Structure 1
Amino acid sequence: MVMVTVSLLVLLVVSLWLYSRHKFSYWAKRGILTPPITPIIGHIDRIGSSKQGRWMFDVEVYQKYSRNGLAGGYTFFSPYLYVCEPEMIRSIFIKDFDHFTDRRVFKSQSKNDQCMNEMLSNENGEQWKKLRSIVSPTFSSGKMKNLFHLVCEKADALVAFSLAESTKKPFVNMKLNFGRFTIDTIASCAFGLECNSLVDENAEFPKKADPFFDFGFSRLLIFIMLGIAPKLMSKLGINMFPKETQFFKNVVEETLAARRKGIKRGDFLDLLLEAQSGEDLSDPSKKQVLKDETIIAQCVLFIIAGYDTTATTLAFAAYELAKNPDKQQLLREEVQDAISQNNGMTYQAIMESKYLEACISEMLMVTVSLLVLFVVSVWLYGRHKYSYWAKRGILTPPITPLLGHLDRIGSTKQGRWMFDIEVYQKYSRNGLAGGYMMLSPFLYVCEPEMIRSIFIKDFDHFTDRQVFKSPNKNDQCMNDMLTNVNGEQWKKLRAIMSPTFTSGKMKNLFHLVCEKADALVAYSLAESTKKPFVNMKHNFGRFTIDTIASCAFGVECNSLVDENAEFPKKADPFFEIGFFRMIIFLMFGIAPKLFSILGLSLFPKETQFFKNVVEETLAARRKGTKRGDFLDLLLEAQSGEDLGDPSKKKVLEDDTIIAQCVLFIIAGYDTSSTTLAFAAYELAKNSDKQQLLREEIQDAISQNNGMTYQAIMESKYLEACISGKS
């Protein structure tokens, strides 16, 4: 079964390699050269390199890879073309420009993201031209004047609400107020709704709009994933847009139905409906541009383009004006003059307010400056992390941002050994060279005598292996596991733990395993009389979790009989390695501190359930309850620790015992049930092998008056079946 599992893993790796090779063969099939490609990310690492400017990469492409004025490149798996010949560039920009008008768009494969795909900002070609020619007039000066009264109503409400708040509170949260004002304005102008979120703290509209702007870690990685594998995103059911999109689609659909019955407000939705009704559809070959889905998409785009951008700009402006009362006074005077000259504020007065325009432009410049500062900070952070070996005078191969040398180590174009030879030949100095696993440095030792010393003479200084310590407090359970500690703590913990897995101690647990095995056989036989087939993968999983619950946690959960048993439900998330879980592991390797700040955990929240179970069971065992299980063995080891020396630190704390019990699940649950399922499948396919195994087991039972631990250990053919050597 181990060999079958390994074969499947090899098949998966080969499939990934073939897929990558296929995607990165686009230009080669067309006779166009490309620079060396980094797996998955293409040439993104060279374009955004912290060691050379983009222009240096472009010069390299021009000088080395241009053939007949063309060279190829890849952004992730997407190909793009370098045009390196001046006359060809001139033709593209002038003579043949009508064939090269489109910009790059991001179309999601998910049906739930269809709204995003229909947006004006995400269209190309004829559809974009037609849609823009229809939508653009709705933003003309005259049409905007028609919406101005709606904006004024919300501005008056903002002023009144903020003034009222100022009489009740020591300070007013204007960022919140500007956000509520903006969403009220959008709701009124784009959706024809009065949500009054300034007054109603629980208004639904802003609650549904906020997730569009929650750009957390997972959302950011979804955008990256769209560039890498859009079809995989669709198959995994991952959406670019939050589920709240459906709320706005429903709102617009209901409002459209009402407007078609005669209700008019002179808002953005009316303007789009007017444009829709004005479309010439007399020619049946013409495709309707402004379908209802397209109108809905433009309304959602109104939120994305206007909500957070407007609220943030207003908040920055208010902050700066509060800091500079002289500038605030100048602006107040301009606004008051405009009101007195026009008997109130008008659209034209706003357009002619030069100082107001200057204040808003200044805020936008501040925002851009902050973005530049952020990008520079990220660049400096990367430069700092990748200077570790340079500061110590040790050479390293060229580094890929974020990945370090992980792309070269796992390259699909060359084996790991080829990269190691390159490091040895080009970068080894005094027998040493450096590398980076993402942001973590590692050392190449290239001198035979030095390697010999590490493995023999000085081995006691190099005993530790790489461990993964999560900085998140919620992952402390993982950090305390035997497999994840090093140094003296590992030596002491292993010295205490190893005796609990001796043959004699395992014999004491054998009766618990037999009880669960008998229950598995009885349950499966009973199922076979009721159903045309028995789901043995499911049954093996329930048998394994029942055995672990009994042996490690001292709990009888009987999940074979009880479909709603809590124990397997809490265990399953540990083995659900979906897209987000893989990305979380990747993030942990790249930026562990940011990982902690974002509150991300490597372990699922269900860890707490098992901690509680073990804590309760520990309390019961200390009152005298004994079962002869794994937990009793650990408690026995804990009580046997020599703590006569007060300077000695206790190794088996209760938290450490809990961690080993959770490790028992991770090491034993899915591995055992999957191996048993594969074994059953192969034996079902090979009835002659199955018969041989049955005969061996029946002989063992008859010779020992039942199945014993020793009989299992001596069953050679059973061992061969499990090992895949039968």
Structure 2
Amino acid sequence: MWFIYVGVLCLLSVWYYIRTYRVWSRRGVKQTIPWPFFGDSGITVFQLMSVPEILNKIYYMYPKTRYTGFYQFQEALLLLKDPELIKQITIKDFDHFTDHRTVGSSDEIDPLFNKNLFFLKGQTWKDMRSLLSGSFTSSKMKIMYNLIVEASENFVDYFCSKNEDLVEVEFKDIFSKYTNDVIASTSFGIKVDSLREPKNEFYAMGKKMTNFNTFRSLIGFLLYMAVPTIAKLLKIKILAKDASDFFINIIDQAIRMREENHVVRKDMINIMLEEREGKARQDDEEVIDSGFAIVEESQNITKHPKKQMNLTNLDITAHAMIFFLAGFDTVSTAICNCCYELAINPDIQDKLRNEIKKTMKEHNEKLTYESTLRMKYLDMVITETLRKYPGLSATERVCVKPYTIEPVYPDEQPVHLNVGDIVFLPPYSLHHDPKYFADPEKFIPERFSDDNKTLINKYTYMPFGIGPRACIGSRFALLEMKTLLIQLVNKFEIVPVQKTKIPMELCRSTMSVMSKDGYYAAFKLLK
């Protein structure tokens, strides 16, 4: 009788596999051949390839198609490859794809994670985005600019004070300290010096809050993606509780001190408090706002009437965490990648330095918001960095209304998407597609010169996402990067050392586009 049971078990297994992993085939979509249980995530889970590499494999699997079906565990996803289709779904028909996928637990278990703007849904997201959009305008960035300059000057002074001709560094370590200090000052109203005091509590908790490469975090994400019901039942947290409590207490104390003592500081907490009290000022000042990579806020959001919302201290903390969850690791990695390219491309670094020194001389060696954003070659270097190394290799949208992708080519048929279906946008693959960017593995800032950037299809370049759900903090991130690079390249030559890995090998344990072996180089003091 045992062989009957084995046969039945085999038949049930085959039925389950076909039912789970032939979703796209049944809809007439070409798809991958997924692993049992893991789907296409098995290659990533067992670190056989980096996330960008596995997405590239899917992206090029069927070259003449506009989309490809694949699977994360038992979840079916549709990878979009065609710029016009991406435009259709993320812009024109955005009302059908307003949400991100839910990965967290509940407000009671993980309040900072779930109240974060990135994970809000539907009308709640739209109301909050409308409210917060006024906090990230160019004029608001100008208000906070001096705080960023102060942190960048402190960073460069630290290495100048060593009085050494050549200082060997590991970029990820030092640049994460810089982004930490900027976030502490602009978002939490705290001044810290993480280079001179590397064990300060703010930096330690920030690293803990943003470290999603631990075994605990990995298991948490896997459970929420594979079996969310069990994950919620077990009350598994994505963010470390002690780190969450630490930042909640910081905001509570800062708000109480400001309200009791009538303290006003030009930072994000003050902007949020003005929003809460209905005192937020209109942006009546014309402020320069240059940068190819900047995300323009959707008119559907800016024209959306701001609903009076009761912003609690917890809400303010959650939105201050936007800077940590999106800026602490992502921005520091972007600076690492930029400095790596400058180190191995000294001609580009020299050209950038010439622009910086010329601009600084014209402004009496004083760094201003306007002079920073007028440096065109600097913007080209940053923009090319974010093309070659986008912050995330992919982003997603969830279908919230039934939707049909109409056929365009003769071999296509209508693809009916149901509520809950997920479409995937692959910035890394688009940025490295030679159809859109010639010699994509080469670092060529001139791609984004005034003459060339008009030739770029903007739906093939999305380092901060695209559409109304693109990153709200793109201006802040770019300003943070540009300010430090100006200070750094003005004082030092960035040079490779023996430990510098050329070419770079991508890390296989994270969604970020970053080096597997760290970033080793040296700062050579300019005479």
TM-score, reference length from structure 1 = 0.40
Distance in structure 2 (CA, Å) of the matches to 1:545 and 1:639: 28
1:691 and 2:350 equivalent? yes
1:709 to 2:384 alignment: no
Matched, 1:614 2:251: yes
What's the CA shift string for 1:539-581, capped at 9, x where partnerless?
A: 3222221111000000012222223211111111222513443
User: Measured at CA, do residues 702 and 475 of structure 1 come closer, stay the same or move farther in structure 2, by a change above 3 Å?
Assistant: same
Corresponding residue SS for 1:473: coil
Alignment of structure 1 residues 207-356 onto 2, 5 Å: none
Bigger proportion of residues as strand? 2
Q: Does residue 148 of structure 2 align to residue 509 of structure 1?
A: no
Q: How far apart are the structure 2 equivalents of 1:664 and 1:715?
A: 25
Separation in structure 2 between the aligned mates of residue 511 and residue 499 of structure 1, nearest angstrom: 19
Which runs of 5 or more structure 1 residues have no equivalent in the other structure? 1-49, 61-378, 426-433, 643-647
Aligned residue for 2:408?
none
Cα distance in structure 2, aligned partners of 1:701 and 1:500: 29
Q: 1:673 to 1:443 in 2, by over 3 A?
A: closer
State the distance in 2 between where 1:685 and 1:399 align: 39
Aligned residues: 336
User: Residues 681, 461 of structure 1: CA spacing in aligned structure 2 closer, same or farther, 3 A cutoff?
Assistant: closer
Residue 478 of structure 1 and its aligned partner are, at CA, apart by 0.8
Separation in 1 of the partners of 2:104 and 2:148?
Answer: 33
CA separation in 2, counterparts of 1:575 and 1:596? 21
Aligned equivalent of 1:475, options 99, 110, 134: 110
1:357-376 map, 5 Å: none
* CA spacing shift, 1:543–1:522, aligned 2, 3 Å: same
Matched, 1:53 2:8: yes
1:282-317 Cα deviation digits (max 9, x unpaired): xxxxxxxxxxxxxxxxxxxxxxxxxxxxxxxxxxxx
Separation in 1 of the partners of 2:91 and 2:369?
A: 39
1:650 aligned partner: 309
Structure 1 position 677 matched with structure 2 position 336: yes
CA offsets per residue over residues 30-51 of structure 1, 9 Å max, x none? Answer: xxxxxxxxxxxxxxxxxxxx99
* Mapped partners of 2:96, 2:167: distance in 1: 61
Matches of 1:549 and 1:560, distance apart in 2: 14
The whole-number CA distance in structure 1 between the counterparts of 2:191 and 2:239 is 24
Query: Which residue of 2 is the match for residue 600 of structure 1?
Result: 236
Corresponding residue of 2:380: 720
What residue identity is the alignment partner of 1:637? E
Output the CA distance in 2 between the equivalents of 1:657 and 1:439: 35
Report the counterpart of residue 542 of structure 1 in structure 2. 177
Counterpart-to-counterpart distance in 1, 2:310 and 2:7:
50
CA–CA distance in structure 2, aligned partners of residues 452 and 603 of structure 1: 33
1:663 aligned residue: 322
What is the CA distance between 1:54 and its match in structure 2?
A: 4.4
Residue 53 of structure 2 corresponds to residue 415 of structure 1: no
Contact persistence 1:471–1:592 (CA under 8 A)? no
In the TM superposition, residue 681 of structure 1 has moved relative to its aligned partner by 3.5
- Give, in angstroms, the shift of residue 531 of structure 1: 7.9
Q: Distance in 2 between matches of 1:716 and 1:499?
A: 26
Alignment partner, residue 222 of structure 2: 586
Say whether the 8 Å CA contact 1:553–1:614 is kept in structure 2. Answer: yes
Which residue among 622, 625, 634 is the counterpart of 2:272?
634
d(CA) in 1 for partners of 2:167, 2:97:
57
The 2-side partners of 1:520 and 1:560 are apart by 7
Higher relative contact order (CA 8 A, sep 6+): 2
TM-score w.r.t. length of structure 2: 0.53
1:551 aligned residue (179, 186, 189): 186
- State whether residues 513 and 547 of structure 1, in contact with CA within 8 Å, keep that contact through their aligned partners in structure 2: yes
CA distance in 1, matches of 2:60, 2:320: 39
Distance 1:591 1:654, change over 3 A: same
Query: Structure 1 residues 679 and 51, CA, compared in 2 at 3 Å: closer, same or farther?
Result: farther
Report the secondary structure of 1:501's partner residue: coil
Q: Residue 437 of structure 1: CA displacement? A: 4.9
Q: Does 1:525 align with 2:163?
A: no
Measure the CA separation in 2 of the matches of 1:420 and 1:557.
Answer: 50
Q: For residue 655 of structure 1, what is the amino acid of its counterpart?
A: L
Partner of 1:527: helix, strand, or coil? coil
Residue type of the alignment partner of 2:377: Y
* Alpha-carbon separation, structure 2, partners of 1:553 and 1:442: 38
State the shift of 1:484 in Å.
0.9
Query: For 2:197, which of 562, 570, 587 is the aligned residue?
Result: 562
CA distance in 1, matches of 2:355, 2:91: 45
The one-letter code of the counterpart of 2:373 is M
Question: Over residues 623-660 of structure 1, what are the superposed CA-to-partner deviations in whole Å (9 max), with x where a residue is unaligned?
Answer: 31111101111111122289xxxxx7725332221111
Contact 1:507 1:709 in 2 (8 A): yes
In the alignment, the residues of structure 1 paired with residue 179 and residue 153 of structure 2 have an alpha-carbon distance, to the nearest angstrom, of 12
Q: What letter is aligned with 1:486?
A: K
Instruction: Tell me the distance in 1 between the aligned counterparts of 2:201 and 2:114.
Output: 25
Residue identity over aligned pairs, in percent, reads 29
Shift of 1:456: 8.9
Contact preservation (8 Å) 2:176, 2:328: yes
* 8 Å Cα contact 2:220/2:238 also seen in 1: yes
Q: How far does residue 662 in structure 1 lie from its aligned partner after superposition?
A: 1.4
Hey, what's the Cα distance between the residues in 1 that align with 2:110 and 2:218?
Answer: 16
State the match for 1:159 in structure 2: none
The one-character-per-residue Cα deviations of 1:398-422 (angstroms, maximum 9, x if unpaired) are 9976446767999899736768999
Q: In the alignment, is the contact (CA less than 8 A) between 1:493 and 1:652 conserved in 2?
A: no
Pick closer, same or farther for the CA change 1:651–1:522 going to 2, 3 Å.
same
Q: What letter corresponds to residue 541 of structure 1 in structure 2?
A: S
Point out the structure with max Rg over C-alpha: 1
1:489 aligned residue: 124
Of the structure 1 ranges 591-600 and 399-408, higher mean CA displacement relative to structure 2 is found in 399-408
Q: Is contact 2:107–2:115 with CA below 8 Å preserved after alignment?
A: no
Contact 1:554 1:631 in 2 (8 A): yes
Verify: 1:625 aligned to 2:268, yes or no.
no
Superposed counterparts of 1:404-483, under 5 Å: 415=58, 437-439=72-74, 460-471=95-106, 473-483=108-118
Q: Is the 8 A contact 2:105 2:235 kept in 1?
A: no
Deviates more, 1:684-693 or 1:568-577: 684-693
- Give the AA of the match of 1:561: R
Shift of 1:717: 1.6
